[in-house]
Structure 1
């Protein structure tokens, strides 16, 4: 599919808005669940501080939620493209782009919310 064809496809703006808010909420919920699970497993002592500084723990805590949600959206994008449901395909692509943008500025958003 060429870029010109992609932009000519009808756009479901309501679906984009609803899915973006829903998936970003799920993303924040996954981040909070990870934080609580880490705290409940390791506590708040010196050992948990050392464990939290490990590179793979930092990678898991920071990027696992976006990989889960983004992976699900990529699966839906591929599925809708193969079924030639281009309106849903475009909606999911734009939702994924918005979600990646929101994830990249999540630290600023978390400071505003919390």
Structure 2
């Protein structure tokens, strides 16, 4: 499929909006769950401070949620492309790109929400 064929595919804008809001909400919920789980396991002391400075804990707390949600969307994109359901393929692809862009500015958005 070349770019001109991709642009001719019908686009479900309502689906893109609903899925973007839904998946971004799930993303923020996962981040919140990770924070509360870390706090519940390690508490607030010096041990928690030392553990949170480890590189893999930082990686888990910052990027596990986008890897889960993004992985699900990539799975759906590949599945729908193989089934040749191009409208859903394009909708999920655009939703994935919107989600990645929102994730890149999540710290500013979390400040507005929380």
Compute the TM-score of the two structures, normalised by the length of structure 2: 0.99
Structure 2 distance, partners of 1:74, 1:2, is 19
Structure 2 distance, partners of 1:36, 1:43, is 10
Structure 2 distance, partners of 1:3, 1:67, is 27
2:46 paired residue number: 46
Q: Are 1:72 and 2:72 an aligned pair?
A: yes
1:4-25: CA deviations, max 9, x gaps? 1111100000000000000000
Q: Are 1:37 and 2:37 an aligned pair?
A: yes
**Structure 1 spans left out of the alignment, 5+ residues:** none
**Structure 2 spans left out of the alignment, 5+ residues:** none
Structure 2 distance, partners of 1:23, 1:113, is 16
Compute the TM-score of the two structures, normalised by the length of structure 1: 0.99
Q: For this pair of structures, how many residues does the alignment match? A: 114
In the TM superposition, residue 102 of structure 1 has moved relative to its aligned partner by: 0.3
1:96 paired residue number: 96
Runs of 4+ in structure 1 over 6 Å off: none
